[in-house]
Amino acid sequence: MIKRDDLIKEMKEEQKLRTMVRRGIKIVLERKEKEKQQEMLEEQKLRRLIRGLITEVKGDADVADSVSHRNTGINILDKTLKQIIKTLESYYKSLTTDVKQRQSFRAHILANWKNALAPVDIHRNAPGPIASLAEDLEEDVDVNITDEDKFIPVRPEDEAAPEEEEAGFVKIPTADPDELQGANFAEDAWNDVEKQILEPYEDLIAPADAEAFYDYGLTNLKLYFDRFEEELAAVPEEEPTSPDYPN
């Protein structure tokens, strides 16, 4: 039979042991909490470091983009696209009634890119005064001068005004109302961006630069129109219903 004193002693030892266990658990938990907080601090520091690196790399990338390609024409096109793409995107994405409207818009912008830049190429590739003179000196031909050739205009009304053909906006013939809608939007958009396209293109004297501007420009317009269409396709046609507002 267990004596009362022994029982009390055993209970005290058990209570003491439990107290020690609780203290040990508390110490372990506190230590884990400190380790967790330390890990969180380290993680925050790491995230800040990564964000800093991303910002730095992005900044370097922006600088690199603004620096250069290996062709002057592409460098100029880069700046031009940054000026005009948002405008074209705005007009394009406004045409949402029928896909034919956007197809017409696209076709008209691409056609007028070609039509507007072609006259510039003609003037760029035309022989200058020195070249013409050299060709005349090299040719051994008989020149027949007519009476009309002898005429010397001395009055303003006698001088023939030089004929300059304006390219103008080219519209593709159609009777479809959606295609006409796209054409009208394309004309408005072209009027907004034409100057920003033609002025830098006219400054490109070297044929290789002009060719790169023209070809890469045409390709990039097509790619951007493809991207605009993909972005429109990602927008849901109908808004989702909700339990509180089903209609």
For 123-132, the pLDDT digits (tens) are 666 554 433 4
242, β-bridge pairs: 245
* pTM across the whole model: 0.57
Handedness of CA 36, 38, 41, 47 (dihedral sign): negative
pLDDT at 148: 52
Cα angle 44, 46, 48; round to 5? 70
**Alpha carbon of residue 13 to chain centroid:** 78
Q: Residue 64: is its pLDDT beyond 50?
A: no
For 163-190, the pLDDT digits (tens) are 545 558 889 898 999 999 999 999 999 9
Helix 72-94 and helix 99-125, axial crossing angle in degrees, nearest 10 = 150
Return the higher-pLDDT residue of 128 and 100. Answer: 100
pLDDT at 243: 58
Return the higher-pLDDT residue of 40 and 216. Answer: 216
Mean pLDDT, the chain, as a whole number?
Answer: 77
For 138-150, the pLDDT digits (tens) are 444 344 445 555 5
Half-sphere exposure for 129 (CA within 13 Å, toward CB): 0
3-class state of residue 242 by DSSP: strand
The amino acid sitting at 17 is L
Structure tokens at 204: 């490109």
Residues 79 and 89 sit within 8 Å (Cβ to Cβ) = no
